[in-house]
Homo-oligomer: A and B are copies of this chain.
């Protein structure tokens, strides 16, 4: 199902994401570098963690009149600025549309939400493929015209299947992975291939109710609010850097089934908001926490 229409025209821009030890003048140095080379800044976000003494920055500028050729920007920036200031940095170009793979199990709500946004042109992304450990959602993939791969997972075949999945991801130049209620735990080996590039949605307000069956646990505890948490997957289960969280009220009137129903709306929105921030290159990760620019 092809895109109905792109919602926004996208400018030809470059985006730098930076973090480094804080010191005087970093902001001035970076913005001057862009200004002097006729880079019209369209977004500037900066944050200083004064406790850890870390400087974070996201700057996006138009390439049209920029005097450094696109393929030289990284080199110039590294030589002239980054190497002198101990910067960790990445550069991203709006022309390069990232490729995202979806992992799903049986529940369709988060998958539908993502495919609807994709089809509506809300996101600057390509989704070449969907991977699942069940056949259940193949019809959804087919209706949206996206390749669907079935990798059943058992204790015995897990290592082998993950290897095959990884090969498929590499072959398709997948940049990042979204677990849209994928009910399997990825092995450390898998996760290490995509550091801060696997986004999961956990159906609780982490760190409360990590692990299995959080709605049952929430009901049992008698909480008055339930939540959902999107985070980057690390090798610690449900303990990776949090990207977005949201909550909704519940009460003694809510059965576990009701919590599950209310939770679906939270889960899909919270996951899609995290994907959107990731696509916008607005997330920096440091010491298992995120800086999420507005």
Q: Measuring CB to CB, which residues of chain A are less than 8 angstroms from any residue of chain B?
A: 1-2, 4-5, 7-8, 24-25, 27-28, 31-32, 35, 40-42, 44, 46-51, 56, 108-109, 112-113, 116-117, 119-120, 122, 136-137, 139-140, 143-144, 205-209, 221-225, 227, 241-247, 249, 251-253, 255, 257, 261, 264-265, 269, 272-273, 288-292, 294
CB distance from A249 to the nearest CB of B (A): 7
CB distance from A191 to the nearest CB of B (A): 18
B44 x A27 contact (CB < 8 A): yes
> Which of B24, B273, B289 interacts with A222 by CB under 8 Å?
B289
Chain B residues near A35 (CB-CB < 8 A): 24-25, 28
Looking at chain A's contact residues, the main secondary structure is mixed
A225 x B252 contact (CB < 8 A): no
**Complex Cα spacing A252 to B50, Å:** 11
Chain B residues near A265 (CB-CB < 8 A): 269, 272-273
A207 x B225 contact (CB < 8 A): no
Chain B residues near A122 (CB-CB < 8 A): 261, 264
B253 x A294 contact (CB < 8 A): yes
Knowing that A221-B289, A251-B292, A252-B289 touch, tell me 7 more A-B residue pairs with CB under 8 angstroms.
Answer: A1-B139, A108-B120, A112-B119, A222-B242, A222-B288, A223-B242, A224-B245
CB distance from A135 to the nearest CB of B (A): 11
What are 8 A-to-B residue pairs whose CB atoms are below 8 Å?
A27-B28, A27-B44, A28-B28, A28-B35, A112-B116, A122-B261, A221-B242, A252-B289
Which residue of B is nearest A246, CB measured? B225
B25 x A255 contact (CB < 8 A): no
Copies in the complex: 4
A242 x B227 contact (CB < 8 A): no
**Complex Cα spacing A292 to B40, Å:** 25
CB distance from A119 to the nearest CB of B (A): 7
CB distance from A256 to the nearest CB of B (A): 8
Which residue of B is nearest A242, CB measured? B222
**Complex Cα spacing A112 to B269, Å:** 14
> Which of B32, B56, B109, B223 interacts with A206 by CB under 8 Å?
B223
B208 x A51 contact (CB < 8 A): no
Chain B residues near A48 (CB-CB < 8 A): 44
> Which of B7, B42, B47, B252 interacts with A253 by CB under 8 Å?
B47
Chain B residues near A140 (CB-CB < 8 A): 1, 4, 119
Chain B residues near A40 (CB-CB < 8 A): 24
CB distance from A293 to the nearest CB of B (A): 9
